[in-house]
Amino acid sequence: MRAFLNRVLIGLVVGIGDRIMLNCVLRGAIIGAVISLMMGIIPLLEGDTMSALNVIGFGVVYGIIADVVATKISK
């Protein structure tokens, strides 16, 4: 459930952040990393570094996909 809410939040922030003048891939990666860092910090503090990196990595990938698709659709 947390992963689903994380992806929804990334999509929402990508939609709001369309006025940020960056390349859509870079903007999506930054947004995905920042939002997923909130979810990945708990496993990181518990010593499970691999889980934290997986969460952040998948957030970056999803942020890129969401921003690229949203940019292509909005043009």
d(Cα 31, Cα 75) in Å, to the nearest integer? 20
CB 21 within 8 A of CB 64: no
Mean pLDDT, rounded, for 49-59: 93
> Between the CA of residue 59 and those of 7, 16, 23, 47, 75, what are the distances in Å?
7, 17, 17, 20, 24
Domain boundaries, the chain: 22-74
pLDDT in tens, 5-38: 888 999 999 999 888 899 999 999 999 999 999 8
Query: Which tokens sit at 46?
Result: 């518990």
Residue 11: closest CA among 71, 55, 53, 75: 71
